Amino acid sequence: EGARASSGNKGSLVHVVGATSGDTLADPDFGVVYPDAVKLTRKSETYQWVERTHKRRIREDEHRTRVETSYTYETRWREGTIRSSNFRYPNGHANPGPSPFDARTYVAREVGVGDGFTLTPTLVDELDRAHNVRLLPMGASERDRNGWEPRDPRQIAGRGGDGDVGCPADKHRRKGIIDDDDDDDDDEDDEEEDQYALDSRLPEMPVAIRQPLPDGWRIRGGVVYSGSDSAATTSPLVGDRRVSFTAVPGKQT
């Protein structure tokens, strides 16, 4: 602690305690500027159909066993694009194409620590004390920060509407031969739900955007979204999109 970088230690293993320093990172598409950041991450999600496959073995007699396969379709917020043309029953479950704004991560060109030391890219990747970036409209002042928009992104185009879709056409069954493969992706869905719960507990940093948003996009609940007006409640529609930001700030020890 308090040590300075020395040319005599170049290439050697050193132990340093100090605060990190980053750069001003910016997203040019949405005008998000975060000063003294190590990383700025943009997450892009689309509300779309998800297919689930469930297999159940049924023993008909002591010599024969069959597998009953059922398909269910749910609407969920998902990163990337799910190709509904690959669904077993694509009719009525059409998904939109790719989002015009994909996921991105901006990283400071040089992350310093202490007096004259620079972290390697591997060590920079390990800095993970992230903050949610709660977006505010252009010109929002410090006074606006505590009262602007709902704080929880789930209040906009959020978790309402997730889960099983209740129309009969969304559940299908067929009988087939024995198949040891289990395509049920409930575990993957649980992991995404757990990650969302963790993200929602991160501390927040309000940031006012620096430029007008792209056509059709607006701020709701600290994130930007595009789509139906119902996304402002808890009932998004297939094809609605949302973009959120997290940042790893500098001055970490």
CB atoms within 10 A of CB 242: 25
Within-domain flag for 1: no
**Contact status, residue 90 vs residue 62, Cβ threshold 8 Å:** no
Within-domain flag for 4: no
Q: Which domain holds residue 44?
A: 14-249
Within-domain flag for 171: yes
Structural domain total, the chain: 1
d(CA 123, CA 117): 12
The pLDDT mean for the chain works out to 77
CB atoms within 10 A of CB 79: 13
d(CA 108, CA 95): 36
Q: What would the pLDDT profile of 229-245 be if each residue is shown by its tens digit?
A: 754 446 789 999 999 99
Using the predicted structure, report yes or no on whether residue 149 has a pLDDT greater than 70: no
Buried-exposed string 163-184: b where 16+ CB fall within 10 A, e elsewhere: eebeeeebbeeeeeeeeeeeee
CA–CA distances in Å: residue 125 to residues 21, 92, 196, 215, 247: 14, 42, 20, 34, 13
Within-domain flag for 2: no
Within-domain flag for 125: yes
Q: What's the pLDDT score for residue 80?
A: 93
Angle at Cα 107 formed by Cα 103 and Cα 108, nearest 5°?
A: 155
Q: What's the pLDDT score for residue 42?
A: 97
CA–CA distances in Å: residue 217 to residues 11, 15, 85, 238: 49, 47, 27, 16
Within-domain flag for 8: no
Q: What would the pLDDT profile of 25-67 be if each residue is shown by its tens digit?
A: 999 999 999 988 899 999 999 999 999 999 988 888 888 888 8
Q: What would the pLDDT profile of 79-104 be if each residue is shown by its tens digit?
A: 999 999 999 999 999 999 999 999 99
Within-domain flag for 182: yes
